[in-house]
Homo-oligomer: A and B are copies of this chain.
Amino acid sequence: MKLKIKNFNWHAGKPVVFLNDKTAKRMNVFVDDRVAITSKTKVYAIVDIFPKLVKQDEIGVSHELARILKLRTGVVVEVSVSEMSDASFLIKKKINGEELSQKELDLIISEIVHNNLTEAEIAFFTAAEKINGMNFEETISLTKAMIKTGARLKFKGKYVADKHCIGGIAGNRTTPITVAICASVGLILPKTSSRAITSASGTADVIETISEVELPLKKIIQVVNKTGACLAWGGSLGLAPSDDKIIQVERLLNLDIEPQLLASVMAKKISAGAKHILIDIPFGRGAKVRDLEKAKSLGRKFLRIAKRFDLKMKVTYTDGTQPVGNGFGPVLEMLDIIKVFQNDGPQDLREKSIYLATELIKLCGIKDANRKASEALASGKAYEKFKEIINAQNGKDNFDEKIKNLKLGKIVRVIPVEKSGQIVRISNKGINSLCRILGTPETISAGVYLHKHLEKVKKGEPLLTLYAESQVKMKDALKFIKEFKPIEIE
């Protein structure tokens, strides 16, 4: 059917078209069906039906589609009901328990990147990955497919390195410190991080309290070439871009899909140009990985993939039973980091950051790694490197000003220890939820300061300090503490 383009310049996040209800009826398409739009090129889009916005001879297109089609309002295109894409057949194959080849996974991932699969189809794919599993060769193929469909960075130097931590632990903001230490001893770290999904804040949210983090690829290369590292948000860079779309779907059920996790981490690191990779797997009650055995099983899989890609890798297994650091929430975590750089911060965060930096430096074949890492931090060399990176990302030397402007929530409430005893449990999930209730990550000044870890405490000592910008949120948070009891004392 010939229809006239009407460009709504609507950022739908995916290629969507609007059809008049009568047009839809004539074409026999329904909401969320797929149509093919042919002009110079052929693209697929998802249908929405909108009786008033478009006329019967029109097709309303989103910003994304107008860009892909390079068409303006008024141009006539051929619109037809789209058959199932080949990728759908392959997803069905995986649902039926068959193995997928490199070529087949290439097609699926490419179709995901090009928006030719709906979220429901991606859900079918990930469900099949989860339930039927993927063998080693499929995981390798998936990793390769994810790399191929994205941008790739390349840096000069022997020591291009990266780190990744399997999430789930509250706080645990080692990345800025570890990256600064490693860069200060000569490693190259094109580090990209994510924003919070379910946690109080992600590394990108924390860095954003003092720095630009949404850097274009060109700027990243510039910053890394100048300072040896970056601390950027990975979301818009186009490194393994299929990952964001798959994660968006997995999130719906909070699914952990192991082959997807393996392929996604590896594809991102390889795309960023890293040759030396440190994977940290915190384990224990309350962590994503429950015990050392499971952690080691995951670790072995990472190592096997790394070997295939000819990369050096070290996997560390660390304590995941309690939060790391004292502050939780973007500003609070940044304040912890600054204090560590000033040799005054939470001891657990400091030690873990040095440990990870040591392992990564060692992996690069540099001798005396532990002493070098400790000295870099103690001497202020790492802090200088951190300032340098942030200033480069901001494009001006405003680090001190940014730090000075960090402010905590106006509404403050100290929660004292209720009874003397031993703290036996601090729930990572509970601390994260508490922060979200107080307003993080949107309200960067909100969050929780944890005065104690798993230790002996006395009644009346401060246990938590809560920060918020809204009385309502503070009230909700107090209610949550009462009901959920994120900290247990015995």
Q: Are B21 and A253 in contact (CB under 8 A)?
A: no
- Quick check: is A441 within 8 A (CB to CB) of the other chain? yes
Complex Cα spacing A48 to B128, Å: 27
What's the minimum C-beta distance from A48 to chain B, rounded to whole angstroms?
A: 6
- Quick check: is A11 within 8 A (CB to CB) of the other chain? yes
Partner of A95, one of B26, B30, B122, B255: B255
Q: Are B442 and A50 in contact (CB under 8 A)?
A: no
Q: Digit string of A34-61 for contact with B (CB within 8 Å is 1, else 0)?
A: 0000000000000011111100000000
Total copies of this chain within the assembly:
2
Complex Cα spacing A92 to B442, Å: 28
Q: Are A130 and B50 in contact (CB under 8 A)?
A: no
- Quick check: is A366 within 8 A (CB to CB) of the other chain? no
What's the minimum C-beta distance from A296 to chain B, rounded to whole angstroms?
A: 22
* Residues on the B chain within 8 Å of A49, using CB: 11-13
* Residues on the B chain within 8 Å of A441, using CB: 28
Q: Are B31 and A253 in contact (CB under 8 A)?
A: no
Q: Are A12 and B26 in contact (CB under 8 A)?
A: no
Nearest residue in B to A93 (C-beta to C-beta)? B253
Q: Which of A271-312 contact B (CB under 8 A)?
A: none
Q: Are A88 and B31 in contact (CB under 8 A)?
A: no
Partner of A97, one of B27, B88, B121, B131: B131
- Quick check: is A254 within 8 A (CB to CB) of the other chain? yes
* Residues on the B chain within 8 Å of A28, using CB: 196, 441-442
Complex Cα spacing A22 to B28, Å: 36
Q: Are A442 and B27 in contact (CB under 8 A)?
A: yes
Q: Which of A30, A32, A51, A132 has the most CB of B within 10 A?
A: A32
| A131-B132, A132-B131 as given contacts; A124 in contact with B252, CB under 8 Å | yes
Q: Which of A104-158 contact B (CB under 8 A)?
A: 118-124, 126-128, 130-132
* Residues on the B chain within 8 Å of A11, using CB: 21, 49-51
Nearest residue in B to A90 (C-beta to C-beta)? B253
Q: Are A30 and B248 in contact (CB under 8 A)?
A: yes
What's the minimum C-beta distance from A25 to chain B, rounded to whole angstroms?
A: 8
* Residues on the B chain within 8 Å of A236, using CB: none
Partner of A31, one of B14, B130, B252: B14
Partner of A127, one of B12, B84, B123, B254: B123
Q: Are B253 and A95 in contact (CB under 8 A)?
A: yes
- A interface residues, tally (CB under 8 Å): 48
Q: Are B84 and A253 in contact (CB under 8 A)?
A: yes
| A128-B131, A132-B131 as given contacts; A10 in contact with B50, CB under 8 Å | yes
* Residues on the B chain within 8 Å of A95, using CB: 127, 130-131, 253, 255
* Residues on the B chain within 8 Å of A48, using CB: 12-13
What's the minimum C-beta distance from A476 to chain B, rounded to whole angstroms?
A: 11
Complex Cα spacing A121 to B122, Å: 10
- Quick check: is A91 within 8 A (CB to CB) of the other chain? yes
Q: Are A120 and B252 in contact (CB under 8 A)?
A: yes
Complex Cα spacing A243 to B48, Å: 20
Q: Are A121 and B123 in contact (CB under 8 A)?
A: yes
Q: Which of A11, A12, A123 has the most CB of B within 10 A?
A: A123
Complex Cα spacing A50 to B10, Å: 6
| A13-B30, A120-B122, A127-B128 as given contacts; A84 in contact with B254, CB under 8 Å | yes
* Residues on the B chain within 8 Å of A412, using CB: none
Q: Digit string of A233-250 for contact with B (CB within 8 Å is 1, else 0)?
A: 000000000000000110
Q: Which of A21, A122, A253, A441 has the most CB of B within 10 A?
A: A253
Complex Cα spacing A32 to B27, Å: 26
Q: Lowest 6 A-B CB distances belong to which pairs?
A: A13-B31, A127-B127, A123-B123, A120-B123, A119-B120, A131-B131
- Of the A-B pairs whose beta carbons lie under 8 Å apart in the complex, a sample of 26, sorted by A's number, is A8-B52, A11-B50, A12-B48, A12-B49, A13-B31, A14-B32, A26-B442, A28-B441, A28-B442, A84-B253, A84-B254, A88-B252, A88-B254, A92-B253, A95-B127, A95-B131, A119-B123, A120-B120, A120-B252, A121-B123, A121-B253, A123-B124, A124-B253, A127-B128, A127-B131, A131-B132
Residues of A with Cβ closer than 8 Å to B? 8-14, 21, 26-28, 30-32, 48-53, 84, 88, 91-92, 95, 97, 118-124, 126-128, 130-132, 196, 248-249, 252-255, 441-442
New contact pairs (14) apart from A14-B31, A30-B248, A128-B131, CB-CB < 8 Å? A9-B52, A10-B53, A11-B21, A11-B51, A12-B50, A13-B48, A88-B252, A92-B254, A92-B255, A119-B123, A121-B253, A123-B127, A127-B131, A131-B132
